[in-house]
Structure 1
Amino acid sequence: MGKIFEIIDDNLKAWIDAQPMWFVATAPLDDDGHVNVSPRGHDSFSVLSDHRVAWVDYTGSGVETIAHIRENGRVCVMFASFDSRPRIVRLHGKGSVSLPGDAAFETVVALHPTSPSTRAVITVDVSRISDSCGWGVPVMDKIGERELIRLHAEKKGEQGMVEYRAQKNMTSIDGLPGLPM
């Protein structure tokens, strides 16, 4: 049985900050809707307080995380250690979406390197923090970050990214509202 934490303390924050990859899971309310799990990386995640986290959300080919959070707020963020010490940490909570011009967006974006792919900031008020063994997670080495998301956005340019988001990020695969245009 894993451990339940009361808060994200300095030790847990340091461990989270050291993980190069993490996952976010969301789901719509509809029983026929699709559960979504997305891998994340880059310097995009922030522990804002002992019960609040946020990340810079980059433009992708879909908009499930944003659509699900806008619909019901339910989210689970999972970190897994891929180094020699196995560990999994899950942060459960209620999320919200902030767009350019919102104070929360500007605050979190300022904590991370600028990216032409930035489309939103997701903030999570964490209600449950747990860890488990992670014994089934393989040991792997990080070679580096992929630059494809930045290169894709730079090639498209600002107007091209607006058009891409209008085409790919307006609704989720289940027809839920995604990004407003």
Structure 2
Amino acid sequence: MQIFDSIPASLIPWIDSQKVFWVATAPLSEDGHVNVSPKGCFDKTMNVIPDNESDARKPTSRAVWYEDFTGSGNETISHLRENGRITVMFTAFEGPPQILRLYGTGKVYEFGTPEYRGLLPPERRQPGSRAVIWVDIHKVITSCGYSIPFFTYKAPRVRLHKFAIPREQADYDASSESTLELSRPEKGIKSYWKVKNIKSIDGLPGLSSAFESPDPPTNWNSSSKAPEIVATQDDETLPTPVVQGSTPSPELGSSGLGNLLFGFGFGVLVGGIAVRYATR
């Protein structure tokens, strides 16, 4: 195990290459629910901020931020609003084993805030993006990860993108209406946020302004990303399970099958001759 005050320069490219990470938060209440959320990476979801005072050739980092996507809950946002504590974890699934944890204090920049707009302008944000989570890091720890299995990356999952695109487009199309109520369609993403994302499972406040923001979401009808996303089909088929302890049957080609039949026939012939001589 190694402990650092900031992210070493050698780990930044590795972080940038990751396809998934986890964030852990918890409320202050003793009976509150500790939360761990997996995060998939799409087009620079996770961003490492180089330190201004570090060597430009070997930049270190004391801050990261990631794009937070719409979900049926918002535990991370609620916990950060209450106490700011957060741990971000990365795990190596290929190459040398490694686990990296970033311990820090998090801030929430909701959709429609100046900080959000500065980091995620309409042309950069992903469908379903509801906030930026900024983490100021005070401790970095690496550990072995020797027991973590290998996995081969297949593809990003775009089901959430497909869920969000029509809802965000509904909000965008209604954004020219004169009243706020008219500009928040029932099936828009902002209505979803107001229903699903205002409290944690422990009752802590969640999103507070994104659903009231006058900023329209991205106009996906004019985006070059949307058609590609809509055309993509997630392969959600499960692999064929392998029964524990079973040995796969070898596959026989035409030559193997011929050899098997020849051996069987030869054995029958020899056996028949032996029986004839034995009964004389």
1:40 aligns with 2:39: yes
1:119 aligns with 2:130: yes
TM-score by length of 1: 0.93
For residue 106 of structure 1, report the CA deviation from its aligned partner: 2.3
Consecutive unaligned residues of structure 1, counting only runs of 5 or more, are none
Return the alpha-carbon distance in structure 2 between the equivalents of residues 105 and 10 of structure 1: 26
* Residue correspondences, number: 180
1:70 aligns with 2:69: no
Return the alpha-carbon distance in structure 2 between the equivalents of residues 155 and 138 of structure 1: 38
For residue 108 of structure 1, report the CA deviation from its aligned partner: 2.7
Q: 1:176 to 1:102 in 2, by over 3 A?
A: same
Aligned-residue CA RMSD (Å): 1.7
What is the match of residue 181 of structure 2? none
One-letter amino acid matched to 1:166 = K
Consecutive unaligned residues of structure 2, counting only runs of 5 or more, are 51-60, 172-184, 212-280
State the identity %.
42
For residue 101 of structure 1, report the CA deviation from its aligned partner: 3.6
What is the match of residue 59 of structure 1? 70
What is the match of residue 135 of structure 1? 146
What is the match of residue 174 of structure 1? 202
Q: Which structure 1 residue ranges, 4+ long, deviate > 2 Å from structure 2?
A: 100-104, 155-159
Return the alpha-carbon distance in structure 1 between the equivalents of residues 32 and 146 of structure 2: 31
For residue 131 of structure 1, report the CA deviation from its aligned partner: 0.4
More helix by share: 2
Return the alpha-carbon distance in structure 2 between the equivalents of residues 107 and 47 of structure 1: 16
What is the match of residue 98 of structure 2? 87
1:20 aligns with 2:19: yes
Is the CA contact 1:46–1:54 (under 8 Å) kept in the aligned structure 2?
yes
TM-score by length of 2: 0.61
One-letter amino acid matched to 2:203 = G
Structure number with higher relative contact order (C-alpha < 8 Å, ≥ 6 residues apart): 1
Is the CA contact 1:46–1:108 (under 8 Å) kept in the aligned structure 2?
no
Is the CA contact 2:5–2:138 (under 8 Å) kept in the aligned structure 1?
no
Return the alpha-carbon distance in structure 2 between the equivalents of residues 6 and 116 of structure 1: 34
What is the match of residue 104 of structure 1? 115
**Cα deviation digits, residues 38-75 of structure 1 (max 9, x gap):** 00012311011310110010110101000000000000
From the CA coordinates, give the structure whose radius of gyration is larger: 2
For residue 115 of structure 1, report the CA deviation from its aligned partner: 1.5
For residue 8 of structure 1, report the CA deviation from its aligned partner: 1.5
